[in-house]
Amino acid sequence: MIRETNAHDTEDVLHLIACQSHEDQKHAGVNESFEDIYRGWRRRGLTRRYDGEIFHVVDERDGEIVGICGMSISTDGETSMGELTTMYVKPEHRRKGIALRLMKEITDLARKKGVEFIFAWTRQEATAAKALYEKVGYEENVQPIYYKIVHETEPAKPEQAD
């Protein structure tokens, strides 16, 4: 059953987000333990310093949350934009269409919330993620995005190349 998260899901959601982070870091060659990643997410909670809305949907099977998809929504004053922040399905539940159903549900919810544009980041070698995004209508954009680290008390602002 796919549904929006609620307050009772917090620990399961944090665990799945930490699993996604751990897999991503392993692909990037970072050797941080799952426990350290999980503790970091617990400290931060489910939200980051953010001016918009963040929401998640999950797939629950027999009382177990097996997949999650998250989105943040922001606006530039004219356009409401969504960023896919989380997409993770437990390895033993992959290849069953769960990710596709989660993506469709979060897209429908984003549309109801007035989102006009959605983007997602993924690694070049993440062929399964890219195939999923294309299946639900995303188009690949190869324009580089630049950023810089600023003082920790100031929010970082992405800078996009022309």
128 within a domain of the structure (yes/no): no
70 within a domain of the structure (yes/no): yes
Would you state the pLDDT for residue 49? 44
pTM: 0.74
CATH number, domain with residue 72: 3.40.630.30
Domain count, the chain: 1
144 within a domain of the structure (yes/no): no
138 within a domain of the structure (yes/no): no
Would you state the pLDDT for residue 143? 64
86 within a domain of the structure (yes/no): yes
Would you state the pLDDT for residue 80? 86
pLDDT in tens, the chain (162 residues): 999 988 888 888 888 888 888 887 777 777 888 787 777 777 766 544 445 688 899 999 999 999 999 998 888 888 888 888 889 999 999 999 999 999 999 999 999 988 988 888 887 778 888 899 899 888 888 765 555 555 455 444 555 554
Domain extent for 64: 2-115
43 within a domain of the structure (yes/no): yes
142 within a domain of the structure (yes/no): no
125 within a domain of the structure (yes/no): no
3-state secondary structure the chain: CEEECCHHHHHHHHHHHHHHHHHHHHHCCCCCCHHHHHHHHHHHCCCCCCCCEEEEEEEEECCEEEEEEEEEEEECCCCEEEEEEEEEECHHHCCCCHHHHHHHHHHHHHHHCCCCEEEECCCCCCHHHHHHHHHCCCCCCCCCEECCCCCCCCCCCCEECC
